[in-house]
Amino acid sequence: MIEIRGIHKYYSTEFNKLNVLKGIDLTINEGEFVSIMGSSGSGKSTLLNIAGILDEYDYGDYFLDGTLIKGMSQTKAALLRNEKIGFVFQSFNLLPFKTAKENVALPLYYQKMPREERQELAMKYLERVGLKEWADHYPNQMSGGQQQRVAIARALISKPKVILADEPTGALDSVTSEEVIDLFKQFNEEGVAFVIVTHEQEIANDTSRCIKVKDGLIEN
């Protein structure tokens, strides 16, 4: 599903060139439930961004579902992201001026799905995450846990192959964190792969495999 081969990534500043990823090899299979751990600055977020085609890499190869992701146009990257990947962020990243339902439906807008259909599907997914009654609320009317569940519904609505979650519980208390991970597990059982970047050992323990990143390299 995700095939990363010898990937290097540099960040150039005015004064020096920072080697963030120093040759990463990583394979994530379809339907896997994986966590990535590492201290801040280890390169784990960069790795996730590359996997999500949000960022580019300098050397190596990255195959997503068999497609080589290299020097790709923004348009093609956007279409692939929309089709194959769902994102869950630490700070939820919902659009504040849209209701929960509209937020969930957003990826389908970029698939040019008709509005009625979109809304219907969004309701279905909101129901799945237990927020059917909150469909017409705005993000600032909801708790952090609720917002994250809306974000999860949004990530899943385009039926992606993999969900990339960057510290999804970083802004949540332990109870709601557990709820979020439980939701992840539910959807994982339906075949969606999850890659969760975290620095909480408990969450890593819940996953079937933990990848440890240190100084731009994979340790295990």
Partner 1 sequence: MGIFDKDKWQEIYGTIKKNKLRTILTALGVFWGVFMLVFLLGMGKGLENGVYRDFGSGARNIMYTWANRTSMPYKGMKPGRRIRMKLDDIEALIAEIPELAEAAPRNFMGSIPVTYKESQENYELRGELTNLKDMVGLMVHQGRYLNQRDIDERRKVVVLGTEVIKLLFGDSTAVGSHVQLRGIDFQVVGVYGPRDIKDWTRDDMESVVIPLTTMDQAFGTNNEIDWLICQPKEGISVAAMEPKVRAVLKKRHKVHPDDKDGIGGFNLEEEFSQVQSLFMGIQLFLWFVGVGTLLAGIIGVSNIMLIIVKERTKEIGIRKAMGATPVSIINMILTESIFITALSGYIGLALGSIIIAGLSYLMVANDINVQKFYNPEVNLGVAVFSLMVLIIAGALAGLAPALHASRINPVEALKDE
> Where along the sequence are the contacts to partner 1 (CB under 8 A)?
49, 52, 54-55, 74-75, 78-79, 81-83, 87, 89-91, 93-98, 102, 106-107, 109-112, 114-115, 154, 158
Contact 43, 7 (CB under 8 A): no
Residues contacting residue 49 through CB under 8 Å, at least 6 positions apart: 55
Closest separation in Å from C-beta 77 to partner 1 = 9
Smallest gap from Cβ 13 to partner 1, in A, equals 14
Q: Which one, 94 or 131, has the nearer CB to partner 1?
A: 94
How many residues does this entry show for the chain? 220
How far apart, in Å, are the Cα atoms of 111 and each of 81, 132, 210?
11, 23, 33
Cβ-based nearer residue to partner 1, 43 or 107? 107
Ramachandran region of residue 83, left (φ > 0), alpha (ψ -120 to 50) or beta?
alpha
CB of 133 to partner 1, least distance (A): 22
**Token digits of residue 32:** 């896997």
- Comparing CB distances to partner 1, the nearer of 107 and 145 is 107
Tally Cβ neighbours within 10 Å of residue 131: 22
Nearer to partner 1, 75 or 220 (CB): 75
State in angstroms the smallest separation of the CB of 9 from partner 1. Answer: 11
